[in-house]
Amino acid sequence: MTKTISPINIAIPAPASRRRDRLFARVGGAEKFAFSADDNGAVIEIFDEIGGFGISPSDVRAQLADAGRGNVTVRLNSPGGSVFDGITIFNTLVAHPGKVRVEIVGLAASAASLIAMAGDEIAIADNAFVMVHRAWGMTIGNEADHAEQAAVLRKVDDALAETYAKRTGNKVDVIRRMMEAETWLKGEEAKRLGFANEVMGEVKIGARFDLSIFAKVPSALAETPTSAAHLSSRAELETLLKERLGLSRAAAKKIAAGGFNALSKPDEDQQMVETLVARLAKASANLKEI
């Protein structure tokens, strides 16, 4: 079949690959990346963040290789992540010779919303969401370093806006305003604005994520970790301590080491861990009110 979706060509290199902490803490359900097959072809489930500790372009390429030249259904429930990994996955899906159907069964936010645009068909559950926003980045350095990063972010925003516009049929200026406002679209609204061409029935959402990194999360998705049981590693607890309470890396590392060890030994200090995580949730709520 002839593909009508254009790949994203962006004349800037992605940042050097490096290990980083997870951006989105687990709130509930299982995150996963799975490959299977049904009567319509291969099925790829992307139920995790994009890049980093989540799903990488190489993961998707490997599964598409197993699918051969046949049709593929991508089931998507992701809070997003690395925009460069998102662009690479988008281009990989666009290049696939078979038909690509994307089913948004929970959330397609940030970089995941870009991946959704690679579908020849895009279906969204009635209770699912799409979110678009401007690209983020972090810079450490002098004025020239920050200026260079700003130029990169502008190029990324331009590429994303043009891609959303072509896929949805909206004008680029309309998409830019949506990105600037951090726009969340549910089921029917996503279809009305061209981000999907089919609405499915409601789907029970499996993996759920702490989305407090975003500014305008719908109440249906605004959950924060309330139990230490939601943390799967010491690195996740350390990240929460740094991002939510503003602790230094050294302090967060020291507290996380003792706190997460207690998760495996509930009889020793479980109350301390529960209290700590409860304070994290309260601190997060206070930050949202500022």
247, pLDDT greater than 90: no
**Of 234 and 191, which is predicted with more confidence?**
191
CB 199, CB 188: distance < 8 Å: yes
pLDDT tens digits for 172-203?
A: 999 999 999 999 999 999 999 999 999 998 88
58 included as an active-site residue: no
110 included as an active-site residue: yes
pLDDT of 267: 43
Report yes or no on whether pTM surpasses 0.75: no
Q: Which residues pair with 73 in a beta bridge?
A: 43, 101
160, pLDDT greater than 90: yes
The tokens for 145 are: 């370093």
**Residue 268 confidence class, pLDDT cut points 50, 70, 90:** very low
CB 199, CB 123: distance < 8 Å: yes
Catalytic site residue from 56, 78, 82, 110: 110
pLDDT of 78: 93
pLDDT of 231: 53
Of 225, 117, 231, the closest CA to residue 170 belongs to: 117
SS3 261: helix
**Of 150 and 248, which is predicted with more confidence?**
150
pLDDT of 15: 56
Cα angle 20, 54, 34; round to 5: 165
Of 77, 43, 56, the closest CA to residue 14 belongs to: 56
Catalytic site residue from 56, 82, 133, 212: 133
**Residue 16 confidence class, pLDDT cut points 50, 70, 90:** low
pLDDT tens digits for 60-103?
A: 999 999 888 899 999 999 999 999 999 999 999 999 999 999 99
pLDDT of 273: 54
Average pLDDT over the chain, rounded to an integer: 80
Cα angle 26, 29, 33; round to 5: 85
50, pLDDT greater than 50: yes
pLDDT tens digits for 195-224?
A: 999 999 888 766 677 787 888 888 888 754
d(CA 262, CA 123): 43
Kind plus residue range of the DSSP H or E element containing 108: strand 100-109
pLDDT tens digits for 250-260?
A: 777 777 776 55
Of 144, 68, 80, the closest CA to residue 114 belongs to: 80
Type of residue found at 144: A
Average pLDDT of the segment spanning 36-53? 85
